[in-house]
Chains A and B, each alone.
Chain A
Amino acid sequence: MKILVCIKEIIDPESPLALSEDGAVVQDKNTSYRMNRYDEFALEEAVQIKERAPGTTVTAITVGQLRSSEMLRRALGKGADDAIHIVTGTRFLIPPKKTARLIADYARNKNFDLIFTGVMSEDGMYCQTGPMIASMLGIPFAVSVISEALDHLKGSVAVECEIEGGIRERAAVSLPCLLAVQSGINRPRYPSLSNVLRAKTQEITKIVARDHELSATGSPAGLLGYPPQPDRGVMLEGSREEKAEKLAAILHEKGFV
């Protein structure tokens, strides 16, 4: 069985975030990065399938800046067999449709049985890349997957998808297919020492994306700006004691306590 896992490097949401004058996200020595959390679950799900079905290979792929190779090494450390890096130079925010096109073009004719993605990225929150890859490849998919069970005989996957209000939908999806997984589907592992040592020297396949494959032409160009400051809300000032007293007074006045 051949599995492809799509992972993305994002700016850590805890990291400071600012825009330069031309509206680009500032990346400097204070910027920290990590793997998109939803993709950690996607990778873990693929590695668990590999452990159950010997002979399975897990390939991790990313579309990202030069530095994203380090994240791919982490994916190797967590159990991926090989890694593909579609390099975007210094370009950081790629429209989801472009990312999907690059990955779909790579995956076409490579006979992957399963493609995993996270349900969304924490930075863009588009929820587009996974279903877009599947749609471009003409394969079925499921989103918000919270459990999956492969049925090799039937050639399908039984999935549970989380929908609104905590309700789950059960569905059968034919292989090959793409699953966009929801967080909580598993417990992502830490990289193992033996895998980390292997990953250090393992070659990562690099594919350099051409400029026209990355520019926003044909996709809506999203312009980033700061949101307007909402006028509601007060921040309580003073010592911890004073703040606690003020909050208790406010809630008392409103009749809650």
Chain B
Amino acid sequence: MTKKLLIVCETLDNSLITPVQELAAFAASCSISSDETTVMIAGQDVSAAVPKAAAAGIDVMTVEHEALRYYNPPALAGSVIEVCRRIGASRICFSHTMQSCAAAVIVANELDCAIVTGVERAGENNGVIEFARSAYNGKMLEKTMFGSGDGFVCTVQSGSFASDPAAPNATGNIRKFDYDAVSEKFIPLGITAADESAISLNEADVIVAAGRGVGKEENLAVIYETAKLFSNSAVGASRIVCDNGWLPYGRQVGMTGKTVSPRLYMACGISGAQQHLVGMKNSQFIVAINSDPHANIFSTAHVGVADDLNLFLPVFIEKCR
């Protein structure tokens, strides 16, 4: 018997957030056909999201509720569970964001099925589905196998599966699903927009990003000096730099921060934690400077320099002048 897959899409303030084509590509990579797949779109008003979520003729199920206007993991999980029961899906796939992941955990617990979070690779061989995800800051790959009859919940790391440009952008049947069992124990109240600096990161051609290797706030001067070498450049940061208060959170690149793809990304003193890589790995050209020659960032970089950035960058700036 074929196992049905439900792809869960979220909206935030009526805008589609989930990269549904990527999730469809993920499903195809483990040989789950579109006939066995349903896309569920949850939100307050999903009418604008439905055409965007159209993926190669996959059937769409919409769930609309006032409580789903902002992220609401328990309400999303509750509606996913009911939709699964209705359509008989036992495999459920979310995007790997903090909020979708939280909903995925509730679903896995309520349905008592296995859960794998942050899937980056997937494959199928003789009915056995294999998922791989990063652990230990990318130094290890963790694999999980599922048999052809197994159900599962998974969250897929964004940017891991390329959507198929040849796939027809066609919508299957659209059905509406009524859901009203919303708990009052978690009430979303609204969202606060990111600050201006986050926007400038998206528009920059060149991003020079600082990590833990900067050492102290005063050393950011050399990062700014480096950024000045390039036109339309901006300074970014890994999370720890923002946690230390050296740069505002609007400068953070990575999970919960900005996802950027500039022409040039210079990672300075950044070790390459997975949470950072997801935000910058699609940059066109990546240069990494780190004193640890085994740092994970070098696996993503086109050009690597194993050196202390505070000593290397001043020499580099001299050479560029």
Contact bitstring B275-317, A, C-beta under 8 A = 1, else 0: 1000000000101000011000011111111110001100110
Contact present for B300 and A245 (CB under 8 Å): no
Query: Shortest 3 CB-CB distances between A and B: which pairs?
Result: A166-B194, A140-B185, A248-B319
Which residue of B110, B136, B229, B256 is within 8 Å of A162 (Cβ)?
Answer: B256
What's the nearest-Cβ distance from chain B to residue A4, in Å? Answer: 18
Residues of A within 8 A of B101 (CB): 127-128, 131, 143
Contact present for B230 and A256 (CB under 8 Å): yes
Known: A162-B98, A169-B190, A241-B315. A140 touches B74 (CB 8 A): yes
Q: State which of B25-33, B113-121, B172-180 sits at the interface with chain A.
A: B113-121
Known: A161-B98, A166-B249, A254-B285. A223 touches B230 (CB 8 A): no
Contact present for A127 and B257 (CB under 8 Å): no
Which residue of B187, B257, B274, B303 is within 8 Å of A172 (Cβ)?
Answer: B187
Bound: A125/B206 CA distance, A: 29
Q: Is A53 an interface residue when CB atoms closer than 8 A count as contact?
A: no
Contact present for B318 and A131 (CB under 8 Å): no
Residues of A within 8 A of B141 (CB): 224-228
Q: State which of A74-82, A190-198, A231-239 sits at the interface with chain B.
A: A231-239
Q: State which of B57-65, B84-92, B214-222, B258-266 sits at the interface with chain A.
A: B258-266
Within 8 A of B (CB), among A38-78: none
Q: State which of B1-9, B41-49, B142-150, B160-168 sits at the interface with chain A.
A: B142-150
Which residue of B188, B243, B315 is within 8 Å of A170 (Cβ)?
Answer: B188
Bound: A230/B288 CA distance, A: 15
Residues of A within 8 A of B136 (CB): 11, 13, 17, 123
Contact present for B302 and A232 (CB under 8 Å): yes
Overall SS of chain B's interface: mixed
Contact present for B144 and A160 (CB under 8 Å): no
Within 8 A of B (CB), among A161-180: 161-174, 177, 180
Pick 30 A–B contacts, CB within 8 A, sort by A.
A13-B273, A19-B140, A122-B273, A123-B136, A125-B134, A126-B118, A128-B105, A131-B101, A132-B108, A135-B110, A140-B183, A140-B185, A140-B186, A160-B192, A163-B99, A166-B258, A167-B192, A169-B188, A174-B184, A220-B115, A220-B116, A220-B146, A222-B144, A225-B142, A226-B141, A233-B304, A240-B315, A244-B318, A247-B305, A254-B285
Residues of B within 8 A of A153 (CB): none
Q: Is B193 an interface residue when CB atoms closer than 8 A count as contact?
A: yes
Bound: A227/B272 CA distance, A: 14
Known: A224-B140, A248-B316. A135 touches B230 (CB 8 A): no
Bound: A182/B255 CA distance, A: 11
Bound: A19/B315 CA distance, A: 39
Overall SS of chain A's interface: mixed
What's the nearest-Cβ distance from chain A to residue B274, in Å? Answer: 6
Residues of B within 8 A of A250 (CB): 303
Chain A residues in the interface with B (C-beta under 8 A) = 11, 13-14, 17, 19, 97, 119, 122-128, 131-132, 135-136, 139-144, 160-174, 177, 180, 182-184, 218-230, 232-236, 240-241, 243-245, 247-248, 250-252, 254, 256-257
Chain B residues in the interface with A (C-beta under 8 A) = 12, 17, 70-71, 73-74, 97-99, 101-102, 105-106, 108-110, 114-118, 134-146, 152, 183-195, 198, 206, 229-230, 239-240, 242-243, 249-250, 252, 256-259, 263-264, 271, 273-275, 285, 287, 292-293, 298-307, 311-312, 315-316, 318-320
Known: A168-B191, A169-B190. A161 touches B99 (CB 8 A): yes
Contact present for A247 and B303 (CB under 8 Å): yes
Which residue of A127, A167, A240 is within 8 Å of B193 (Cβ)?
Answer: A167
Residues of B within 8 A of A119 (CB): 98
Residues of B within 8 A of A163 (CB): 12, 71, 97-99, 191, 256
Which residue of A17, A132, A234 is within 8 Å of B303 (Cβ)?
Answer: A234
Closest to A250 in B: B303
Closest to B155 in A: A127
Bound: A143/B307 CA distance, A: 37
Which residue of B70, B106, B293, B305 is within 8 Å of A169 (Cβ)?
Answer: B70
Bound: A219/B184 CA distance, A: 31
Bound: A123/B305 CA distance, A: 26
Bound: A18/B190 CA distance, A: 45
Residues of B within 8 A of A135 (CB): 105-106, 109-110
Bound: A139/B106 CA distance, A: 11
Contact present for B271 and A13 (CB under 8 Å): yes
Which residue of B105, B109, B188, B301 is within 8 Å of A233 (Cβ)?
Answer: B301
Closest to B318 in A: A244
Closest to A171 in B: B188
Residues of A within 8 A of B292 (CB): 14
Closest to B242 in A: A184
Known: A140-B183, A257-B230. A248 touches B142 (CB 8 A): no
Contact present for A171 and B187 (CB under 8 Å): yes
Closest to A18 in B: B139
Contact present for B259 and A165 (CB under 8 Å): yes
Bound: A221/B271 CA distance, A: 28
Bound: A139/B258 CA distance, A: 31
Residues of A within 8 A of B190 (CB): 169-170
Known: A166-B198, A170-B192. A235 touches B143 (CB 8 A): no
